């Protein structure tokens, strides 16, 4: 009897000792802290039909443990988990609107913040996809205004945007590239001081036509208080680009102005008297292609009041041996 009691006591001591050891080990070896994984971005649409929506994303694997998977949410509900970086939602209703977002998760249970949410309307008879939104002013001067707007989520089939002022098209802007750019910025130049404007933007889709217009942005340009032109750009140099003999890299020394800082001075580039492009606050520009033969290249500075500097001019010769596939 005494032997049995002794065994029970020893067993009890052993149990208590083991519990103390486990507790000590737990205190001295803290558990691994959870890691916040990078969100799956950018999230971009590939195609939209009457019954399917396909999209893809990029995933930074920094900090992940083991296999990284993407949880796909449709209208707020988890619909699938995948190791891929693309997804196609099928069996959808024509003309219905769906939302999607993605969350990354790894084998250790770490998760990312949700990606941005895509909001897409499937195609169908009479369905007009949404147009650009949140048209706003980024600059208002006496001779120019800066505008910005958000592309619709399904911008994959938009060819370009039309900017209208009072119903007349005053500018066209290519759709943003397929890399997650959601905001489009542009500048409308050559405006009269103290003039009133009512801008809207609409998307032009090849097979569907014109989208609904954005919100209307009404604004007035400022009074012109600066009559002085910027100094002329100097040191204009034209060189053949490294990757193509018909492409020209330009550099010049920037102008100065009595009212605008250098960062606000525009430069207009012309090739043989024809407008090629605008540069804001920089002394470099690339001309995509010039004709064979002698080309006169001109750069002139324009300030926010519309004052134009004297021109800087140089000549670039494209050899007849330089073909368009060179």
Q: What is the pLDDT of residues 301-325, one digit of tens each?
A: 999 999 999 999 999 999 999 987 6
139 and 216 fall within a common domain: yes
pLDDT at 324: 76
Q: Which domain holds residue 248?
A: 234-318
244 and 180 fall within a common domain: no
For residue 14, the surrounding DSSP H or E stretch is helix 2-28
Question: pTM of the predicted model, to two decimals?
Answer: 0.81
Residue 97 scores a pLDDT above 60: yes
Beta carbons of 147 and 138 less than 8 angstroms apart: yes
116 and 58 fall within a common domain: yes
140 and 216 fall within a common domain: yes
Q: Average pLDDT over the chain, rounded to whole?
A: 89
For residue 88, being part of any structural domain is answered with: yes
Beta carbons of 283 and 252 less than 8 angstroms apart: yes
What's the mean pLDDT in 80-90?
97
What's the mean pLDDT in 8-19?
47
What's the mean pLDDT in 185-198?
97
Residue with tokens 């009897």: 1
Answer with the residue of higher pLDDT: 255 or 4: 255
pLDDT at 229: 98
pLDDT at 161: 96
pLDDT digits (tens, 9 = 90+) for 99-152: 999 999 999 999 999 999 999 999 998 898 889 999 999 999 999 999 999 999
Ramachandran area for residue 95 (φ above 0: left; ψ -120 to 50: alpha; else beta): left
pLDDT at 5: 52
Examine the fold and report which residue of 93, 121, 149 is the final residue of a domain before the chain moves on: 121
CA distance 255 to 232: 6
142 and 105 fall within a common domain: no
pLDDT digits (tens, 9 = 90+) for 282-300: 999 999 999 999 999 999 9
138 and 216 fall within a common domain: yes
For residue 256, being part of any structural domain is answered with: yes
162 and 182 fall within a common domain: yes
Answer with the residue of higher pLDDT: 212 or 36: 212
What's the mean pLDDT in 77-81?
97
Closest Cα to residue 98, out of 161, 153, 179, 40?
153
pLDDT-derived band of residue 61, with 50, 70 and 90 as boundaries? Answer: confident
Burial of 181-219, coded b for 16+ CB within 10 Å and e otherwise, reads: eeebebebbebeeeeebebbbbbbbeeeeebebbeebee
Examine the fold and report which residue of 161, 193, 220 is the final residue of a domain before the chain moves on: 220
Supply the CATH number for residue 283's domain.
Answer: 2.60.40.10
pLDDT digits (tens, 9 = 90+) for 196-205: 999 999 999 9
**Beta pairing partners, 302:** 266, 308
Examine the fold and report which residue of 192, 220, 248 is the final residue of a domain before the chain moves on: 220
Domain count of the chain?
Answer: 3
Any residues with CB less than 8 A from the CB of 152 and at least 6 apart, and which? 129, 130, 131, 132, 133, 158, 203, 211
Residue 14 scores a pLDDT above 60: no
Any residues with CB less than 8 A from the CB of 284 and at least 6 apart, and which? 249, 250, 251, 252
């Amino acid at each position: 009897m005494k032997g049995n009691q002794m065994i029970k006591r020893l067993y009890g001591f052993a149990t208590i000792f083991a519990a103390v050891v486990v507790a000590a080990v737990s205190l001295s070896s803290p558990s691994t802290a959870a890691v916040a994984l990078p969100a799956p971005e950018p999230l971009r649409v590939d195609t939209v039909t009457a019954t399917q929506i396909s999209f893809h994303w990029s995933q930074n694997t920094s900090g992940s443990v083991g296999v990284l998977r993407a949880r796909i949410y449709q209208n707020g509900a988890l619909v699938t988990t995948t190791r891929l970086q693309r997804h196609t939602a099928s069996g959808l209703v024509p003309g219905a609107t769906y939302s999607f977002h993605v969350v990354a998760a790894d084998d250790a249970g770490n998760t990312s913040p949700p990606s941005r949410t895509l909001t897409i309307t499937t195609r169908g008879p009479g369905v007009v996809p949404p147009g650009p939104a949140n048209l706003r002013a980024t600059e208002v001067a006496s001779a120019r205004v800066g505008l910005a707007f958000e592309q619709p989520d399904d911008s994959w089939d938009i060819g370009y945007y039309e900017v209208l002022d009072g119903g007349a098209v005053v500018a066209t802007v290519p759709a943003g590239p397929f890399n997650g750019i959601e905001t489009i910025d542009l500048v409308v130049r050559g405006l009269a001081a103290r003039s009133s404007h009512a801008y809207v933007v609409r998307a032009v889709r090849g097979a569907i036509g014109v989208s609904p217009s954005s919100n209307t942005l009404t604004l007035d340009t400022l009074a012109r208080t600066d009559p002085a032109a910027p100094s002329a750009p100097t040191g204009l140099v034209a060189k053949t680009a490294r990757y193509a003999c018909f492409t020209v890299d330009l550099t010049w020394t920037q102008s100065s102005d009595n009212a605008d800082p250098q960062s606000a001075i525009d430069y207009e580039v012309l090739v043989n008297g024809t407008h090629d492009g605008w540069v804001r606050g920089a002394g470099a520009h690339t001309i995509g292609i010039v004709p064979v033969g002698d080309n006169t290249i001109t750069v002139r500075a324009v300030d926010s009041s519309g004052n134009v500097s004297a021109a800087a001019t140089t000549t670039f010769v494209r050899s007849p041996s330089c073909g368009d596939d060179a």
